[in-house]
Amino acid sequence: MTDIGFVIATYYSGQGFYIDNNDYKTLRWYEDNTITKPTLEELTEKWDEHLAAQPLKELRTKRNKRLAECDWVLVPDTPLSQEKIDEWKVYRQALRDLPSLAEDPENPVWPVAPQ
């Protein structure tokens, strides 16, 4: 079911509206809005786009956490050899590339961190 209030707040920001129990029939669009009232079909399309983007968004969040966990390897006083630093750089680049390369963002093949 489309979350109409969420869609309007997210994709039609700054527009005033009232809705009761997420029922499009009760949607009141304020007269001073700069955009015409979206149709239920338009709102549903935006909701579907939002849902479709979630797996990739979650992948990026997990990827960013993994990147943050290995930030320490790039500080100037790291005890690692240059060879190990280079391995970590390759790993970090693989993490950055993952969102564009993952065939299934919900089940990505994560690169393996160097030991």
pLDDT digits (tens, 9 = 90+) for 48-71: 999 999 999 999 999 999 999 999
CA distance 80 to 17: 57
Q: Is residue 16 part of a domain?
A: yes
Q: What is the DSSP letter of 28?
A: E
Domain shared by 68 and 111, yes or no: yes
Q: Is residue 115 part of a domain?
A: yes
Instruction: Name the pTM for this structure.
Output: 0.75
pLDDT of residue 12: 96
Give the domain range for residue 19.
Answer: 1-38
**pLDDT tens string for the chain (115 positions)?**
999 999 999 999 999 999 999 999 999 999 999 999 999 999 999 999 999 999 999 999 999 999 999 999 999 999 999 999 999 999 999 999 999 999 999 999 999 999 9
Domain shared by 89 and 60, yes or no: yes
Task: Of 10, 105, 112, 111, give the one whose Cα is nearest residue 53.
Answer: 105
Domain shared by 34 and 73, yes or no: no
